[in-house]
Amino acid sequence: MLSSVSSALLWRGLLAVAIGIVSVAWPNITVGAFVILFAVYAFLAAGSDTARALSSDRAGPLAGYLFLALLSLAAGLIALLWPGITALVLTIWVAAWALATGIMEVILAFWQGQTAGQRAMWALGGLVSIALGVVLILRPDIGALSLATVFGLFSIIAGVSALVLSAQAHRLGTLTGPLAHTPA
């Protein structure tokens, strides 16, 4: 069990650091990627909602799914036609995400069964996430490019935190003997 936790944290940390470096080095590409990914998601949602509507045999679900499909189609088109507005909305969404995950990480820092170092890393990561959310909520006008840079720095810090937690979990697994080698 500890080995799988260590591996999961290792991959999470490495991916977060890589995403952070790309976000800091190329903020324009990061913002553009966020907007395009959102548009693709919206178009896929529109397609699946249309398929649901056409497979319905009742008028209520047909109308409801067609309405959802139109909303998703409009959201995808708006994202591509007005990427600035989309970037602002994504900034607010990231702020909400950062606050929610940060609060949860701080709560997790106080769960039993963790070392003081693990608690400190969870708490630090959570506080950094909360700070990101608060800054973005207070100043959404800082712009998507600033968000990409701040998100990149956050990802690097969160990635390093996950790598430290991975090393600690691996060390704990190694110290406990056979538990560390149990298949996940």
For residues 122 and 106, the answer to whether their CB atoms sit within 8 Å is yes
User: What is the distance between the alpha carbons of residues 13 and 167, in angstroms, rounded to a whole number?
Assistant: 11
For the stretch 122-161, pLDDT in tens is 889 889 989 988 988 888 777 677 778 888 898 899 899 9
User: What is the distance between the alpha carbons of residues 61 and 28, in angstroms, rounded to a whole number?
Assistant: 40
Q: Considering its fold, how many domains does the chain have in total?
A: 1
The residue among 40 and 148 whose pLDDT is bigger is 40
User: What is the distance between the alpha carbons of residues 83 and 166, in angstroms, rounded to a whole number?
Assistant: 38
For residue 94, which phi and psi values (nearest 5 degrees)? Answer: -65, -35
Nearest to 42 by CA among 68, 60, 62: 68
User: What is the distance between the alpha carbons of residues 159 and 19, in angstroms, rounded to a whole number?
Assistant: 9
User: Model pTM?
Assistant: 0.56
Nearest to 162 by CA among 111, 112, 108: 108
Residue 112 has what DSSP assignment? T
User: What is the distance between the alpha carbons of residues 98 and 130, in angstroms, rounded to a whole number?
Assistant: 6
Note down the domain range covering 44.
2-181
Average pLDDT over residues 9-32: 89
Q: For residue 47, what pLDDT is reported?
A: 92
For residues 153 and 132, the answer to whether their CB atoms sit within 8 Å is no
User: Residue 2 pLDDT > 60, yes or no?
Assistant: no
Average pLDDT over residues 81-97: 85
Task: Output the average pLDDT for the chain.
Answer: 83
Average pLDDT over residues 25-54: 88
User: What is the distance between the alpha carbons of residues 135 and 130, in angstroms, rounded to a whole number?
Assistant: 9
